[in-house]
Amino acid sequence: MKRGTAVRSAVLGMSAVGLMGACGGQPEQTPAPEGGDTVTTATQSLVPAPPAPFDSYLYIAGTLPVGGAVSSNTGTSANYEGFKLNVAANTQVALEVTHLGTGMGVDTGLYVYGPKTQYGYGYWPLYGDDDSGYGELSKIPLATFNQAGEYLVVVGWSNGLAKQYRLQASCVGGACVANPSPAPANAPVTLAAFPLDGTLNAVLGGANAYREDMYSFLDRYDFAWPYSTHATLDAAAAAVLARSEYKGYRNDPNPGTYTYAAFLPRMYLQFQPLHQAILDTYGESAANAQVKSYFREFSTGPNGDNWRTLNIILLPESRHVIVYEQTAHEI
């Protein structure tokens, strides 16, 4: 991600599609089936999210259980189908249009909306993917649901081949894990980058317009966690510092550790509204949240002193790591 803009995370919505597409690996390689069929990729059009405003009731076809799967048929023209997904707070699932049970040549897109309110499921997808699964099928390896409720998982296809597809929802962490075990000692945290919530973008943007010499960045990462005990702040910090964009902080010999309440006065005044907004957005208790801070300073020449603090905020119950980088420079 580039460092020249205040919001390195993209706005929620269509940008989530590209991000999740980048999370997928190479399609699995299998021998060609008998009868001459071959696996082809990158030959179909992208499958975008349904047009906004999103009328979910045009697409509802059934219910998708966590830990289960549904099968349906593409019909003979490009279209969308949606399946209700009911989850408890802090549930984490993987969603995939699977190779097994899906007809050869089907090209899909996969989008998640919600939670449902009196106004529907919302206009913009929380998560989205085009081709991260097998071939041109779709896969979202990690979808974290902060709020309990009903969500809508929408499958779209560009080619109406009148073939079957299979949509699967697998529990990967959080509230859906039955009888979870304690986390092993030194269990690592594996981060996946996601777009920042639009409300936080707005708060951050307003604060960044306040002073020329003070600027901050905010990034969101999620991690799958199937254990009964929380991830550690040290494990979260290690995962963040392993990323190349934060390598400048690795040499801080004495990082500070804070409760979330004690972290508030360490934020520049104009950015302090982010403190509560982060908790509200991700449904975390301030008592659970923890912060580890790394500092560095450098000079770019006469009157060019820079001071930067990397604040790694662990939200252990909701399985998020928020990275708040606070910068100041000499004018």
CA distances from 294 to 173, 228, 246, 325 (A): 29, 29, 10, 9
Count Cβ atoms within 10 A of the Cβ of residue 179 and give its class: 0-12 exposed, 13-18 middle, 19 or more buried.
exposed
- Rounded to an integer, what distance in angstroms lies between the CA atom of residue 198 and that of residue 300? 33
192-329, what's its fold? Answer: Protein Transport Mog1p; Chain A (3.40.1000)
pLDDT score recorded for residue 300? 80
pLDDT score recorded for residue 44? 57
Q: 309, 328 in Cβ contact below 8 A?
A: no
Beta strand 91-97 with 164-174 is antiparallel
- Rounded to an integer, what distance in angstroms lies between the CA atom of residue 42 and that of residue 52? 26
- Rounded to an integer, what distance in angstroms lies between the CA atom of residue 249 and that of residue 298? 12
Amino acid (1-letter code) at residue 325 = E
CA distances from 246 to 5, 251, 293 (A): 15, 11, 12
pLDDT score recorded for residue 20? 37
Q: What is the dihedral of CA 30, 32, 38, 44, to 10 degrees?
A: -10
pLDDT score recorded for residue 54? 67
The reply to whether CATH 2.60.120.380 applies to domain 14-30+38-174 is yes
pTM of the entire predicted model: 0.84
Beta strand 108-113 with 68-73 is unpaired
pLDDT digit string (tens) for the chain, length 331 residues:
434 334 343 333 333 333 333 333 333 333 333 333 444 444 557 899 888 766 776 789 999 999 999 999 998 998 999 999 999 999 999 999 999 999 999 999 999 999 999 989 988 899 999 999 999 999 999 999 999 999 999 999 988 889 999 999 999 999 999 999 999 999 999 999 999 988 999 999 999 999 999 999 999 999 999 999 999 999 999 999 999 999 999 999 999 999 999 999 999 999 999 999 999 999 999 999 999 999 999 888 776 889 999 999 999 999 999 999 999 998 7
Task: Look up residue 276 and give its DSSP letter.
Answer: H
CA proximity to 49, closest of 97, 18, 95, 17 = 17
pLDDT score recorded for residue 304? 81
What are the domain boundaries of the chain? 14-30+38-174, 192-329
